[in-house]
Amino acid sequence: MPPALRVLLAGALFSTGGSLIKLQTLPSLQRAGSRALLAALVIFLLLPQARRLPTRRILLLAPAYFGATALFVVANTMTTAANAIFLQSAAPLWVVLLAPLLLRERPSRSDLAVMLGVAVGMALFFIAPAATAATAPNPRLGDWIAIASGVSYALLLIGMRWLSRSGTGEECAAIAWSNVLACPLAFACMPLIGQTPIAGVPLDWAVVAALGTLQMGLAYSLLVTGIPHVSALQASLLTMIEPVLSAGIAWLAHDEAMHPMAMLGGACIVAAVLAGAWLARGGAPRSG
């Protein structure tokens, strides 16, 4: 399969997460932990390079991965799927702010332009009215948790870049082992936010199976094998299908319509990220 198609399919699979998560009755962290365990099994099965014992370097990425994925699930149960994914997609803002501290990389002018565009887009989400709905019972808190997920995702991107400098292919193992550790961590954190595991109904576990195997496991396997063979601009263009498709699927499946101000904010974030990739012409974006 051509690398560009792998990246595109990964973005399409990732985009189903928000709407699928909303179909479940399981507590949010139980959803996140169960999904992670299945995703780890699929990644180990599909990616031979992931089958190595974890090192300290690999395990350092686990907290950031947990924050990026588990907080995204929690945010999805509180706010709209569109808000959750667009605010997580604001991760480049946090990369620009944190990379100088963690990687000793100075931001370029294009990075600063991206930061400004993303910041404007995020502000528009909070200017838009926060209307509650059955699938978004606490939208403002969910928006803030989505931002925290974006910060965690930025740390994950920075960590992956740091691992890639060794040239030993540790990135695949880092994603696989981070999923392994995310499962017990999610269940351990449940009492901290007043959650307890439940048996659920058959639909819950069917959705967990789809999320773990396809939306996470297969998607990450496609992404990590496709990203190294496409340009940063291609990667940005192809993976930005995720927030756009996610908003559309949520609208069709759950009648979650975006407020015009939030739509404008999402457009600002997407445009800023794509413009940054166009100006930089070399680096690497995303997924989540």
pLDDT digits (tens, 9 = 90+) for 229-256: 887 667 777 888 999 999 999 999 999 9
What's the CA gap between 33 and 28, in Å, rounded?
9
Among the listed ranges 141-145, 180-184, 232-236, which one has the minimum average pLDDT value?
232-236
Write down the number of H helices and E strands in the chain: 15, 0
| 242 in Cβ contact with 14 (< 8 Å) | yes
**Helical segments of 103-210, H only:** 109-127, 139-164, 170-189, 202-210
pLDDT at 113 (0 to 100)? 85
Residue whose tokens read 């870049």: 161
Question: What whole-number distance in Å separates Cα of residue 123 and Cα of residue 115?
Answer: 12
Cα distances (Å, whole numbers) of residue 285 to 21, 235, 243, 253 = 24, 6, 14, 28
Q: By three-state DSSP, how is residue 136 classified?
A: strand
pLDDT tens per residue, range 262-286: 999 999 999 988 888 787 764 443 4
- State the average pLDDT for the chain: 91
Euclidean distance between CA atoms 64 and 122, whole angstroms: 21
Dihedral sign (CA 54, 56, 59, 61): negative
The rounded Cα 150 to chain-centroid distance in angstroms is 7
Overall pTM surpassing 0.85 (yes/no): yes
pLDDT-wise least confident of 28-32, 156-160, 231-235: 231-235
Please state, in angstroms and rounded to a whole number, the distance separating the CA atoms of residues 2 and 217.
19
Residues pairing with 133 in the sheet: 136
Instruction: Sketch the domain layout of the chain as residue ranges.
Output: 3-280
Q: How many residues does the chain have?
A: 288
pLDDT, tens only, 193-216: 999 999 999 999 999 999 999 999
Q: What is the mean pLDDT of residues 64-72?
A: 97
Separation CA 272–CA 93 (nearest Å)? 10
